[in-house]
A and B are shown apart, each in its own frame.
Chain A
């Protein structure tokens, strides 16, 4: 073993194929796992397929809108649909979700209007939906911060004394592979562990933190970090919507019944850029992307449906048409979003009256009004 003076880390042998929980192969074959039985009806599978297709289409539309200058930025979920839909559909109404800024598929599962997500990236506001209504917290841009909020929220659920009862809700915190390097994520692991908080840490390891590969974040598989903190970690095929659903469902149930935290590492791949400002051709090989294309999360569900004769061409066409319709309406609604009133920037900063806020708002209102008065002369 040698120490590379630049990279700093000893050479470690590469593992060709990681061990992971898989219930649906890339070829669309159903496989069983003794720890994660999953009973899905044909209708359930068709529902998952619909989710996957629609969120990918919404994502594509948002990327297009950004390219056309209608959104300031977009973080594409392309390639991560199964991780998000599988885990998102595993959460129940009482559960609380704390996302990063890429969880458009999870937002879809929590009935947050896609237009609200676009509004944030268009610059209408910094959130726009009611987190309590949807059980889906605001997007968090500062990497890893939300994992602590999720842990604290889970500690609150504990204190409510509902764990183990039907009204118990678990908390699920989303973050990426890059976030695992952040202090906040590690602190949240410590808090969750020592307080046995009812939380699932759902890491979408999409292999890249902007231009930095996983090797720059960790020398061990991310799911193994959990062991060092004292709770279980599981690696799941993040492009397998069945496996993501089953593993997350079990982890959430463990949390709800007082069995503490779980780290789920969804092993997946970000097929697009980090955000629309990024250029992945500068830092990664085309061959890597091509290899991951073969593991596409939507194609394998389609293959499964076709193999089992669970859906016909009419069904696939219907979903296509529906996705087109949704995105057409989304585009129109996005373009029609009015800019917020300038004075609204003073709203909601404080709950109690704040004299400085009032004074500055009044002064700015008078200043704006002076232009209208001038124009009226």
Chain B
């Protein structure tokens, strides 16, 4: 058992995946000597060499497109996109190629490519460095989309993503990279929560908070504050956005009767809209109030001096909880 930050846990998970399978490659801008701008790939090139940890040209479409070719040759590339806002030059390769090649080949081709994307705000960055583009990718069939929220999940989920035969978009909550927790690095796949299962990270009986990625911690803080006022909120970390483990969410809402969805992305047409629709459809007779959503606004991500107002914080979450009870 080691105490690791989320960033170090990702590093340890990648290292393990590379040790276990010589076909696993890491590629992206600055992932080699520098170890990535967040140091997630720190030391990997030193230990695995330049052939397996590839410092690429500065070209996101090129990175994903060549990763597709490497996968066609039998490799398992793990691609790093430096920041969420830089994934868009690669969006064509991800959406028109990576997602669809298995189906186009009637299953003859497999594309086990992982696209790692540090996502979300809260680090005081300049524009294009704080976005939450998950809805673009959950809308595309053929991709799996997951988001880790804590060091243990980071360690296990990255290894599960690498092992998946399908392309995986892997969101990493960049403002949680420095959060620490105990991680059992001796544990193996049998001990881990399956990649596509949600987790009840705090049980409660009065209302359900659904979240993923960076918002999970904020929801846990909100639940802690609500408990002081006598409300027990159940917090669910979805972990996988596509496929969605809707069963874990509906089991909870059927018990609590109330649901608030929390994410950083803009609420309009965001991932929460899908959650609200499905929860409403499946829990209609048990709901005491409509499913409410808390998230970013329909604006471009704002300048960092006011980003705290954009990001759903504890008070905005508790305000939504209050509204579900006032219905």
Residues on A close to B: CB < 8 A? 125-128, 130-132, 137-138, 140, 142, 145, 147-157, 159-160, 183-184, 187-188, 190-191, 194, 347-352, 354-357
Q: Is the CB of B62 within 8 A of A190?
A: yes
B22 CB to closest chain A CB, in angstroms?
Answer: 10
A147 CB to closest chain B CB, in angstroms?
Answer: 8
A229 CB to closest chain B CB, in angstroms?
Answer: 11
Q: Bound complex: CA of A352 vs CA of B194, how far in Å?
A: 13
Q: Is the CB of A160 within 8 A of B73?
A: yes
Q: Is the CB of B105 within 8 A of A138?
A: yes
B180 CB to closest chain A CB, in angstroms?
Answer: 32
Across the two chains, which residue of chain B brings its CB closest to A194? B57
Q: Bound complex: CA of A187 vs CA of B59, how far in Å?
A: 7
**Cβ of B215 under 8 Å from chain A:** no
Q: Bound complex: CA of A156 vs CA of B71, how far in Å?
A: 8
Q: Is the CB of A131 within 8 A of B62?
A: no
Name which of B93-101, B115-123, B301-309, B311-319 contacts chain A: B93-101
| Complex interface: chain A residues within 8 A of B57 (CB) | 187, 190-191, 194
| Complex interface: chain B residues within 8 A of A348 (CB) | 102-103, 105-107
What 6 A-B pairs come out closest when comparing CB atoms?
Answer: A152-B69, A148-B65, A156-B73, A152-B66, A351-B165, A187-B62
Residues A149 and B97 in contact in the complex (CB < 8 Å), given A184-B62, A188-B62: yes
A-B contact list, 15 entries, CB within 8 Å: A126-B103, A132-B108, A145-B92, A148-B68, A149-B68, A152-B67, A155-B66, A155-B73, A184-B92, A187-B59, A187-B61, A188-B66, A349-B141, A350-B166, A356-B243
A149 CB to closest chain B CB, in angstroms?
Answer: 4
Q: Bound complex: CA of A354 vs CA of B165, how far in Å?
A: 12
Q: Is the CB of A145 within 8 A of B97?
A: yes
| Complex interface: chain B residues within 8 A of A188 (CB) | 62, 65-66
Q: Which of A125, A152, A188, A357 has the most CB of B within 10 A?
A: A152
Q: Bound complex: CA of A187 vs CA of B60, how far in Å?
A: 9
Residues on B close to A: CB < 8 A? 25, 51, 56-57, 59, 61-62, 64-75, 89, 92-93, 96-97, 100-110, 141-142, 144, 164-166, 196, 242-245
Q: Bound complex: CA of A192 vs CA of B299, how far in Å?
A: 40
Across the two chains, which residue of chain A brings its CB closest to B144? A350
Residues A183 and B108 in contact in the complex (CB < 8 Å), given A156-B74, A159-B75, A355-B243: no
Residues A347 and B107 in contact in the complex (CB < 8 Å), given A352-B165, A356-B242: yes
Which of A152, A351, A354 makes the CB contact (< 8 A) with B65?
A152
| Complex interface: chain A residues within 8 A of B244 (CB) | 355-356
A160 CB to closest chain B CB, in angstroms?
Answer: 7
Residues A352 and B164 in contact in the complex (CB < 8 Å), given A151-B66, A151-B69: yes
Which of B51, B92, B165 makes the CB contact (< 8 A) with A159?
B51
Q: Bound complex: CA of A347 vs CA of B51, how far in Å?
A: 35
Q: Is the CB of A184 within 8 A of B108?
A: no
Q: Is the CB of B69 within 8 A of A349?
A: no
Residues A148 and B73 in contact in the complex (CB < 8 Å), given A127-B105, A127-B106, A347-B107: no
Q: Which of B71, B74, B104 has the most CB of A within 10 A?
A: B104
| Complex interface: chain B residues within 8 A of A183 (CB) | 61, 89
B159 CB to closest chain A CB, in angstroms?
Answer: 15
Across the two chains, which residue of chain B brings its CB closest to A147? B65
Q: Bound complex: CA of A20 vs CA of B109, how far in Å?
A: 38
Which of A156, A159, A194 makes the CB contact (< 8 A) with B72?
A156
| Complex interface: chain A residues within 8 A of B97 (CB) | 140, 142, 145, 149
A186 CB to closest chain B CB, in angstroms?
Answer: 9
| Complex interface: chain B residues within 8 A of A347 (CB) | 103, 106-107
Q: Is the CB of B68 within 8 A of A184?
A: no
| Complex interface: chain A residues within 8 A of B75 (CB) | 156, 159
B171 CB to closest chain A CB, in angstroms?
Answer: 18
Q: Bound complex: CA of A346 vs CA of B89, how far in Å?
A: 29
A196 CB to closest chain B CB, in angstroms?
Answer: 13
Which of A138, A147, A152, A357 makes the CB contact (< 8 A) with B70?
A152
| Complex interface: chain A residues within 8 A of B66 (CB) | 148-149, 151-152, 155, 188, 191
| Complex interface: chain B residues within 8 A of A128 (CB) | 106
Q: Bound complex: CA of A303 vs CA of B225, how far in Å?
A: 89
| Complex interface: chain B residues within 8 A of A157 (CB) | 73
User: Could you list 17 further interchain pairs (A-B, Cβ under 8 angstroms) beyond the known A149-B69, A160-B73, A347-B106?
Assistant: A126-B100, A138-B105, A138-B109, A148-B62, A148-B68, A149-B65, A152-B66, A153-B72, A156-B75, A159-B70, A159-B73, A347-B103, A349-B102, A350-B102, A350-B166, A352-B164, A352-B165
B27 CB to closest chain A CB, in angstroms?
Answer: 9
Q: Is the CB of A142 within 8 A of B106?
A: no
Across the two chains, which residue of chain A brings its CB closest to B56? A191
Q: Which of B56, B66, B67, B102 has the most CB of A within 10 A?
A: B66
Q: Bound complex: CA of A154 vs CA of B102, how far in Å?
A: 20
Q: Is the CB of B59 within 8 A of A153?
A: no
| Complex interface: chain B residues within 8 A of A145 (CB) | 65, 92-93, 96-97
| Complex interface: chain A residues within 8 A of B101 (CB) | 138
Across the two chains, which residue of chain A brings its CB closest to B51? A159
Which of B65, B93, B106, B107 makes the CB contact (< 8 A) with A151?
B65
